[in-house]
Amino acid sequence: MARPETLGVHAGREDFSELGVHAPPLDLSTTYPVRDLDEGTTSFDALVGGAATAANPIYARLHNPTVARFENALAQLEGTTDAVAFGSGMAAMSACLLAAGQRGKHVLAVRPLYGTNDHLLNSGLLGIRTRWVRPEEVAGAIDTDTALVIIETPANPTLDLIDIAAVVKAAGAVPVLVDSTFATPVLQQPATLGATLVLHSATKFLGGHGDVIAGVVACNADWAVALRQVRAATGGLLHPLGAYLLHRGLPTLSLRVLKAQENAQILAERLAAHAMVAKVSYPGLGTVANAHLVGTQMRGPGSLMAFEMCGGHAAAARVMAAVKLATPAVSLGSVDTLIQHPAGLTHRVVDAATQAQHGITPGLLRLSVGIEHVEDLWSDLSQALDAARLSAAA
């Protein structure tokens, strides 16, 4: 099997020679002519039923070839038979929960998760009953109605790691969903460790340029059928322009991830030595849970970190106000560096007690390191930290 660097360049392009093109085609059609009614009816039934393709695409909510090429590429990168793309990461998670709801109404989930996923699971909006557990509690918490086990590794925003293979073993016959957004298939392939569903907010590293919102789930053929049925019924489709941008970005995914990771290791070490930083949580420093999984489960520590400011919320806010090169904004995985405050932004919808329990404190900042020159990044971060120190001393 080809390596991620090669797959990123070539996957999903298998029909280019036949089409006589070199760049990914972009099909913006919303509907397709039906000359043969019998063929159209058969195609409609197939696509609504969750088929990947049919003789006639019928309607863009049911199938689009540009989206299908991106799905094919992502499946190859994750080592699964299929992938199903959606209009956002939350649409992808919602589809997984709706599909799982056909099997049972009970879900086990391990915190921390992305804040809106936490909120969705806790809300009961989709008729799902969620029990929050630690990884070692999974086996004992499964009941006859358990339809899914959900984990995120590396975790958002603490960067703690979870042993995927151990959770899969504990879950037994219950499918395991891994949110692998922080790792990307360049650093981690959960399906090779037994995970049934591998979810990405494709907005992040897969897009990589801050110009597309999307979600995608890599999975086996049976789950793909169920997810396509949900997508067809709910309209959670990915726009073909978004799929085009995602597919176009995959050839540089490995380059972007590895360069950002290189920068992150240097910045983490320097942040850890700064007087205004109480703690840096980064797998490459060994300062997160299960950091030993770097080098086995993960090919590297990635480019996300969280650091605790001395001075709490005021100091964190001052750093966000003082950065000039880094962008104070939510999201992650872009070519440029982003810094944000989880307690006040991405995890604002999680109750304060749960935030505190999982280390999401008023002084915590999450840094998504980009591909800029590392010395320029450090110059910016160090001046912002110095600004926070001066403000605290005033």
Bond into 154 cis (ω within 30): yes
Bond into 157 cis (ω within 30): yes
Residue 46: left if φ>0, alpha if ψ -120 to 50, beta else—which one?
A: alpha
- Cα(267)–Cα(265) distance, integer angstroms: 6
> Which strands make up the sheet holding 129-132, listed edge to edge?
82-86, 215-219, 197-201, 176-179, 146-152, 106-109, 129-132
Q: Pick the catalytic residue: 204, 259, 279, 366?
A: 204
Question: Is 114 one of the catalytic residues?
Answer: yes
CA angle, 267 as apex, 181 and 382 as ends, to 5°?
125
User: Three-state SS for 295?
Assistant: coil
Which residues of 7-125 form beta strands (DSSP E)?
A: 82-86, 106-109
Question: Is 259 one of the catalytic residues?
Answer: no
Q: Pick the catalytic residue: 13, 82, 111, 114?
A: 114
Sorted by sequence, the CB contacts under 8 Å of residue 373 that are 6+ apart come out as: none
Q: Pick the catalytic residue: 163, 179, 299, 318?
A: 179
Question: Is 366 one of the catalytic residues?
Answer: no
Helices and strands, number each (H, E), in the chain:
15, 12
Question: Is 61 one of the catalytic residues?
Answer: yes
Active-site residue numbers? 61, 114, 179, 204
